[in-house]
Amino acid sequence: MSGRVAVVTGGTRGIGAASADALRQQGYRVAVTYNSNEQAAQAFTSRTGIPAFRFDAASAEQCAAGVQKIVDSMGPIEVLVNNAGITRDAMLHKMTHDQWNEVIQTNLSSCFNLCVGVVGPMRDRGFGRIINIGSINGQTGQLGQTAYAAAKAGMHGFTLALAREGASRGVTANLIAPGYIDTELLHAVPPEELVKIRARIPVGRLGRSEEIARAVTFLASDRAGFITGSTLTVNGGQHMY
């Protein structure tokens, strides 16, 4: 059993919730963050006993204060899962600046906002695990997702650079690129589009949050110390390279 402190952003629903619960089951002391859905946060905490901290991952100020609050109540963060993410789909010629900024700030700037206060202490302690949740659509592009794909591809470069910076100090950084996973995020995809997407998945079904959670616990473990700067695709064979 690990006993290490793990934080999962956007950990009250979907992939984040499954990842947080899987880490808890492995013996981590876990905290999750969320943005606004109080009801989901309360339901998650009462189901798992995992504390949920409310702050906007897109806000540098809120993240600095939120990280400090978590460290004060739980101790230094040793595993950070940057999972919080949103979609605001629109074709580029109809996309507003607000949509673009919201997606970039929530999905990409959040990684900086969280890591900036966490990576220094990890380096000092000689151990850390940064796990970023990217997307198949950051690898392939997708209609209506210039902002989302740019943010997710940006997370890829962010991960590689951070992996180089942390390698000699015991701090690994890896990216998981999920394919289509059956969560509330997919409610924004029109049902007829989802039928077409499912038909393109060789495994023949959508993924499950628990299947991403298993990848998270693997990369978080002490035994994954030689894996850094890697992209782990978990997509039912939809995109192979």
The catalytic residue positions are 148
User: Taking the complex as a whole, how short is the minimal distance between the CB of residue 74 and ligand NDP, in angstroms?
Assistant: 18
- Is 181 near ligand NDP (CB under 6 A)? yes
Q: Which stretch binds ligand NDP (CB under 6 A): 79-87, 111-119, 190-198, 221-229?
A: 79-87
28: left (phi over 0), alpha (psi -120 to 50) or beta: beta
Going residue by residue from 132 to 171, which x/- string records binding to ligand NDP, judged by CB under 6 A?
-x-x------------------------------------
CB 131 within 8 A of CB 79: yes
Q: What is the DSSP letter of 12?
A: S
Q: What is the DSSP letter of 9?
A: T
Q: How many residues bind ligand NDP (CB under 6 A)?
A: 30
- Is 174 near ligand NDP (CB under 6 A)? no
- Is 113 near ligand NDP (CB under 6 A)? no
Binding residues among 29-68 for ligand NDP as defined by CB under 6 A: 33-37, 40, 56-58
Other C-beta atoms closer than 10 Å to the C-beta of 63 total: 24
User: Taking the complex as a whole, how short is the minimal distance between the CB of residue 134 and ligand NDP, in angstroms?
Assistant: 7
- Is 70 near ligand NDP (CB under 6 A)? no
Strands 128-133, 79-82: parallel, antiparallel or unpaired by DSSP? parallel
CB 201 within 8 A of CB 238: yes
HSE-up (13 A, CA, CB side) for residue 23: 34
Name, in order, each residue with C-beta under 8 angstroms of 239's C-beta and a sequence gap of 6 or more: 136, 139, 140, 179, 233
**Contact with ligand NDP (CB under 6 A) among 4, 12, 22, 201:** 12
User: Taking the complex as a whole, how short is the minimal distance between the CB of residue 3 and ligand NDP, in angstroms?
Assistant: 25
Q: Of 115, 106, 104, nearest to 165 (Cα)?
A: 115
- Is 19 near ligand NDP (CB under 6 A)? no
- Identity of the residue, 1 or 195, whose beta carbon is nearer to ligand NDP in the bound complex: 195
The DSSP result for 48-61, as a single string, is H---EEE--TT-HH
Q: Of 22, 5, 15, nearest to 218 (Cα)?
A: 22
**Contact with ligand NDP (CB under 6 A) among 145, 146, 174, 183:** 183
Q: Interface residues with ligand NDP (CB under 6 A)?
A: 9-10, 12-16, 33-37, 40, 56-58, 83-86, 106, 133, 135, 178, 180-181, 183-186
